[in-house]
Amino acid sequence: MTGGPDEHGAEDLRAVAWGGDHVRLLDQTVLPGRVRWLDIADVDGLIDAVRRLVVRGAPALGAVGGFGVALAMVQARAAGWDQARLQREIDRVRAARPTAVNLAWGVDRVRPLVPRGLPAVVDEALAIAREDGVANRAIGRNGADWILARIGRGAPERGAAPVRVLTHCNTGILATAEWGTGLGVIRELHGRGALAQVYVDETRPLLQGSRLTAWELTRLGIPHVVQVDSAAPSTILRGMVDVAVIGADRITAAGDVANKIGSLGVALACAEAGIPFVVAAPESTVDLTARTGAEITIELRDEEEVLRHGDARVAPEASRGYNPAFDVTPAKLVTALVTEHGVLEVSAGQTPADRFSGERAGSASRA
C-alpha cells in the first residue's frame, strides 16, 4: 500500500477508484488531519480496509464490492487460483461487513461477468460507480424538492427563510461513488441558496461526522456546526432544526431503516418535534428479502472503539464496552425515503414493498 498527496479537487474527489490492477481508497481513518490514498493489491488487504473503515458508506461499498471481484480476479491470475478458490475469495469480500446490503449487492452485480474476463468485470464495476453518481444527483434533487415543498419554504429569491438541517454520520462523497446521498440533498439545498446551516452530529465512536462530514462541508463552503450526538434531541426540540437528513445501510420491505448507531434517536426527536425525518439512499439499499428490521443482523464492533480515544484508554481497564455499529429506525418514524426514482412517505404508509413489488425484488441480479 502506498500513499499519495491530495491531488484532487472537491468535485473529482473519489473515495473508491480502480487503479488498473488494484483498488485505490482514500484512507478515511486519518481524515481530516491527513489526506492519504491507499493502493490495495489483494483480497485480504481489501477486507481489512473495509473492516477498519478505510472505506465505508453503503453506496461506496457497492463500488467496493464490484472492484473487489476484479481485484480477486487479478490476484487469482497471479497466484494461480482455481475457480473454486476464486469464488471463495469473492464470497469473503461479499461478507466483509454484515449489515450494509450494498457490498453484497455490488459483488452480486458483477459476479455473473467473471467468466467473460477482467475487462468486462471492471467495466461493470465502473458502471456501478458511475450510476451511483447519477443516482445521487437525482436523490439530491428529489430530496431538496420534497423538503422545500414539505416545510412550506418557497424559492429563496422570493424571500423564504433558508432551511436548517441536522445530519448524522457521513453520507457525502466519502460514503458514495460521488456527490453523496444525504449530503447530496444538503448540497442541492445549498446550491439553490436554500440552506442556512447544518448541525453535524459528531457520530461516535468513530466520528464520521466531525472527521468526515465536517471536512466535506468545509471543502464545499457549507456553513455548519459540530455537536455531540446526544445534543441532537435538544437541538431539534428547541426548534433549531427544520429537517433531519440521514443515509441508510439497509432498508426493509416495510420501510424500517438500518443506519449508523444514533439515527434512531434523531428519528424519535423529529417525531416528537413534528419535523420530517428524511432518509436518502439509492434503491440498491432496499433489501426486499428482509420484511422488518428484526431480520437485520446488527454488526457488533470492537469494544475498544468505545473504551479508547486514540491511544488513551478512557474507561477503567476492568470495564467492558458494548458497540453496535447500527440501529434500526422503524418505518413509522421515517417521514420520507428519498431515492433516485422519487420519494416514499413511509410513515404515511408508502412502503418499499408496495413501491417495488415484483419489479424490484431481483434488481441486483437483473442489473
Binding site for its own copies (CB under 8 A): 32-33, 168, 199-205, 207, 210-211, 214-215, 217-218, 224-235, 237, 261-262, 264-265, 268-269, 272, 306-307, 309-310, 312-316, 318-324, 327-328
**Cα four-point dihedral sign 196, 194, 329, 102:** negative
**DSSP string spanning 121-181?**
HHHHHHHHHHHHHHHHHHHHHHHHHHHHHHTT---GGGTPPPEEEEE-S--SGGGSSSS-S
Q: How far is the CB of 219 from its own copies (least distance, A)?
A: 9
According to DSSP, the β-strands at 195-201 and 224-227 are parallel
Catalytic residue list contains 145: no
- Smallest gap from Cβ 200 to its own copies, in A, equals 8
Cell of 289: 428479502
Closest distance to its own copies from the beta carbon of 35 (Å): 11
Cβ closest to its own copies, residue 79 vs residue 228: 228
- Looking at the Cβ atoms of 33 and 159, the one nearer to its own copies is 33
To its own copies, the closest distance from the beta carbon of 194 in angstroms equals 21
Among candidates 254, 230, 229, 152, which has minimal Cα distance to 194?
A: 152
Residue 134 or 315: which CB sits closer to its own copies?
315
Smallest gap from residue 181 Cβ to its own copies (A) = 20
Alpha-carbon distance of 37 to 210, in angstroms, equals 20
**291: its cell numbers:** 420484511
Taking the complex as a whole, the smallest distance from the CB of residue 262 to its own copies amounts, in Å, to 3
Asked if residues 176 and 15 have their Cβ atoms less than 8 Å apart, the reply is yes
Nearer to its own copies, 61 or 246 (CB): 246
Q: Is the CB of 18 or the CB of 199 nearer to its own copies?
A: 199
Q: With contact defined as beta carbons under 8 Å apart, do 227 and 167 qualify? A: no
Q: Are 124 and 66 in contact (CB under 8 A)?
A: yes
Residue nearer to its own copies on the CB measure, 118 or 237: 237
Name the minimum Å distance from CB 223 to its own copies: 9
* Residue written as grid cell 448540497: 187
In sequence order, which residues have a C-beta less than 8 Å from that of residue 35 and are 6 or more positions away?
5, 6, 26
Q: For 76-112, b where at least 16 C-beta lie within 10 A, e where not — what string?
A: beeeebeeeebeebbeebbebbbbbbbbbbbbbbbbe
Query: Among residues 49 and 207, whose Cβ is nearest to its own copies?
Result: 207
Whole-number Å distance between alpha carbons of 128 and 66: 7
By the 8 A CB rule, do 4 and 30 touch? no
Which one of 27, 132, 249, 287 is the catalytic residue? 249
Q: Which residues are catalytic?
A: 249
